[in-house]
Amino acid sequence: MPRRNPASALPDRHLIATTEAAEYLDVSPGTIRQYIADGKLRCVKIGRLIKVDARDLEAPIFTVDNS
């Protein structure tokens, strides 16, 4: 029977802390938590830690058009 590699079954994610996400979007960590609570931003909970996928921060809802 072939061996399965569980690591290869995991999606390719770049998980970052809510504080890092807040710095990237130039908002407070509380705003990031509110985005998560409102369903605007997906998260992964690892124990007590809350992580977000950095790629999700590129969604149109988070981009600002300064033109």
Say how far apart CA 45 and CA 52 lie, in whole Å: 9
Confidence of residue 61 (pLDDT cuts 50, 70, 90): confident
Q: Can you tell me whether residue 17 is helix, strand or coil?
A: strand
pTM metric for this prediction: 0.72
Q: Can you tell me whether residue 49 is helix, strand or coil?
A: strand
Give 46 or 13, the one with higher predicted confidence.
Answer: 46
Give CA separation, 44 vs 52, 63, 65, in Å. 6, 22, 28
% of residues, the chain, pLDDT over 70: 75
**How does pLDDT run across 2-15, given as a tens digit for each residue?**
666 555 555 677 99
Average per-residue pLDDT for the chain: 85
